[in-house]
Amino acid sequence: MDTFFKAIEPYSKLSTEGKRQLKSILKRQERPKGYLLVKHDTVCNNIFFVEKGLTRTYYYKNGRDVTDWFSPENTFACSILSYLSRNPDRRGIELLEDSCLITLQYYEIERLCLQHHDIENFVRQIISDGLIRMQNRFDSLIFETAEQRYKNFNSAFPFLHQRINLGHIASFLGITQETLSRIRAAK
């Protein structure tokens, strides 16, 4: 649990009571590689903090498996559109490695938000941060070439490319595996 509380520290200074309350709703689970955390086209009721391991968020586009996001240790995984809108989303989440996860459940979080102003603030900060990331990601899609995005990906997550196969990275970048292979070869 410590890694979790350390990871969220930057967002908001929770009171001791707030921390205690938050801690009380956390659940931890260990799951093997290949485990399906969230099934596509269902409502995502949890935010997952990855304590150890690696998740892949993906969807199907024209019958093909496309990667939407990777979440390695110390980051969050969630089908955020579904989580917030309470509607099913096409995104599913699977484990690329044996992983250890901490789960935050939607209704528990909402309950705590109503009861504790400092938790409401904390969650607002998390959502704001999510919006900032989303906008940055949108911008990277618009302003950067696939090559730049590949570099950014490598500097944001050094060594991660060694744990993920090329096809998944390519679809995450929005290009074909062949094109990524050529980008790599070109330098």
Contacts to DNA by CB under 7 A: 145-146, 165-167, 174-182, 184-185
Residue type, 76: F
* Sign of the dihedral through C-alpha 70, 85, 104, 133: positive
117 binds, among a second copy, DNA, none (CB under 5 to 8 A by kind): a second copy
156 binds, among a second copy, DNA, none (CB under 5 to 8 A by kind): none
CB of 81 to a second copy, least distance (A): 4
State the residue for tokens 């969807």: 59
Among residues 36, 78, 46, 40, the alpha carbon closest in space to that of 59 is found at: 40
Q: Which is nearer to a second copy, 29 or 135 (CB)?
A: 135
Q: Distance between CA atoms of 153 and 163, rounded to whole angstroms?
A: 13
Number of neighbouring beta carbons within 10 Å of residue 120: 17
160 binds, among DNA, a second copy, none (CB under 5 to 8 A by kind): none
CB of 185 to DNA, least distance (A): 3
The three-state secondary structure class of 104 is strand
1 binds, among a second copy, DNA, none (CB under 5 to 8 A by kind): none
175 binds, among DNA, a second copy, none (CB under 5 to 8 A by kind): DNA
CB of 35 to DNA, least distance (A): 17
**Residues near a second copy, by CB under 8 A:** 61, 80-81, 84-85, 113-114, 117, 120-121, 123-124, 127-128, 130-132, 134-139, 141-143, 174
CB of 133 to DNA, least distance (A): 23
CA distances (Å), 34 to each of 56, 71, 97, in order?
10, 14, 7
- Confirm if 167 and 177 have CB atoms less than 8 A apart: yes
| Cα torsion through 15, 20, 25, 26, rounded to 10 | 90
Q: Which is nearer to a second copy, 5 or 138 (CB)?
A: 138
- Confirm if 88 and 82 have CB atoms less than 8 A apart: yes
CB of 177 to DNA, least distance (A): 5
Q: Which is nearer to DNA, 27 or 184 (CB)?
A: 184
